[in-house]
Structure 1
Amino acid sequence: MSRDANYPSLTDKKVFITGGATGIGASLVTHFVAQGARVRFIDIDDTAAHELVGSLSGRATYAHCDVRDIAALQEAIASFEGPAGHIDVLVNNAARDDRHAADEVDVAYWEDRMQINLRPHFFAAQAVRRGMARAGGGSIINFGSIVVQMAAANMAAYVAAKAGIYGLTRALARDFGKDLIRVNCLIPGWVITERQRTLYWNENSARNIAEKQCIPEPLEPADLARMALFLAADDSRHCTAQKFIVDGGWE
């Protein structure tokens, strides 16, 4: 029997998740479905997305969407809302943490990183606001990153975007609060997804975690999903404009 918390307020809620096909996103989809929510997620990895939908017996739906295409993102949101409908929970999760040397970044690369890692958070939030307001409130969860506090090297554009997300969160919480829409920033530490294992895991990784985290165990996607459930549920109804760090005590 699962010992995870159950949130009755999430039953039948409409939850829209960006970047939901793999990693943290897939865990978000799975956990919200387990709470009885109606989940739509977007991604560009069709193969992984369809496998996830199949594993959940069709209890989540998928739409192909590149978050750099704002018109397509807005259309995906409107389609899930339905005529005069609304989304209860928006999870802005999609991101790319590719490493890059500062000296080699040009304008095109910089703009592309912002178009993936920051710009969609604003326009997705803007798109759901009217429906959430009609419904009497909602929750927007923006994913940041612990790299901002770490002053991480070789990812200046990514760090800049993730720092901007917290500022955006604070501003939108103020703008949307009168409609009882909560906006929070969820900040993961180093979550060991399959992508991280493939690209960045090496013999020093486990040692770094053991030495730098207060809890010397690798973070898993589910650790972030469980916090997202709390921030989406009515249990956190007065939590807004905040950052919630799940990093095992790294920082």
Structure 2
Amino acid sequence: MTATFHDLKDKSVFITGGGSGIGAYLTDGFLAQGAKVAFVGRSDASAFCDEMEEKHGVRPLFIQCDITDIPALQGAMDQAAAAQGPIAVLVNNAANDKRHTTLEVDEDFWDWTQAVNLKAYFFACQRAIAGMKDAGGGAIINFSSISYMMGNDGYPGYTTANAGITGMTRSLAREFGPDKIRVNAIAPGWVLTDKQKEMWVTPEALEAHLERQCLKDSLSPEDIVGATLFLASDVSKMMTGQAMVVDGGVVVTG
């Protein structure tokens, strides 16, 4: 850890998908700042919680649920708020970039891609905002992706949802700015999580992607943590409605 965000100490943080991939590194990063972390995921994360407790001396609160079950997701958020105080920071991180082609998509698959990659984000924001209004403010970080900015093929439902996340982020930032609730997005590049390495990373594909980056190092999950902590902290108190790209310099904004 190269920076300490003192205002994150004792903050109540809720992360979707916080037990694996980038989300596990986010849980670790917020715990290192002294935050109280709760997270949800579909798979049992007891072993990960054991690891975090041994490392930080405090155990994150894990609530098992499928984020596409909106009552279960919002119920988990209520449980976290009751246990750790009103949610001050929401990180919508969970996503699924299952590969697919346009012509093979049916209505059920389309609905599922939007449910996991966009709908759950909206209703998590809705629940968090209600508590943040009462508390006098808060920070929401929605994970998007540069995939839609690049015009990638291979997962049109996913890229559609990620474009929607950016639009939703801007609208919520405008609507709830008067309540001192900041809403920003992070758009990572190709982060080499274990899942990505197992399913889609090949030497040829990685070489081609690195060729598009300004910085020639591959992205690891640790590279996304600092940007998330920054947007969660009051250090960025006048930033809202923005999409922060962390991709090694593939796409440009502005």
**Same fold, TM exceeding 0.5?**
yes
Shift of 1:154: 1.4
Q: Secondary structure at the match of 1:248?
A: coil
Q: What amino acid is aligned across from residue 104 of structure 2 in structure 1?
A: E
Q: Which moved more, 1:231-240 or 1:77-86?
A: 77-86
Cα shift readout 1:47-73 (whole Å, capped 9, x = no counterpart):
xx2121111114211000101000001
Quick one: distance in 1 between partners of 2:209 and 2:109?
31
Which runs of no fewer than 5 residues in structure 2 stay unpaired?
Answer: none
Alignment of 1:72-221 (within 5 A): 72-82=72-82, 85-221=85-221
Counterpart position of 1:11: 9
Root-mean-square deviation over aligned CA pairs: 1.3
Shift of 1:220: 0.8
Q: For residues 83 and 176 of structure 1, do their structure 2 counterparts lie closer, same or farther at Cα, with a shift above 3 Å needed?
A: farther
Q: What amino acid is aligned across from residue 169 of structure 2 in structure 1?
A: T
Q: What amino acid is aligned across from residue 48 of structure 2 in structure 1?
A: L
Q: Which moved more, 1:147-156 or 1:203-212?
A: 203-212
Q: What amino acid is aligned across from residue 190 of structure 1 in structure 2?
A: W
Q: Secondary structure at the match of 2:203?
A: coil
Counterpart position of 2:43: 45
Shift of 1:89: 0.1
Q: For residues 45 and 83 of structure 1, do their structure 2 counterparts lie closer, same or farther at Cα, with a shift above 3 Å needed?
A: closer
TM-score by structure 1 length? 0.96
Shift of 1:121: 0.8
Quick one: distance in 1 between partners of 2:110 and 2:227?
31
Q: Which moved more, 1:199-208 or 1:119-128?
A: 199-208
Q: Secondary structure at the match of 1:56?
A: helix
**Number of matched residues?**
247
Quick one: distance in 2 between partners of 1:234 and 1:123?
24
TM-score by structure 2 length? 0.95
Quick one: distance in 1 between partners of 2:52 and 2:125?
27
Q: Secondary structure at the match of 1:201?
A: coil
Counterpart position of 2:59: 59
Which runs of no fewer than 5 residues in structure 1 stay unpaired?
Answer: none
Quick one: distance in 1 between partners of 2:26 and 2:172?
22
Shift of 1:85: 4.7
Structure 1 ranges of 4+ moved more than 3 A: none
Shift of 1:45: 1.5
Q: For residues 84 and 190 of structure 1, do their structure 2 counterparts lie closer, same or farther at Cα, with a shift above 3 Å needed?
A: closer
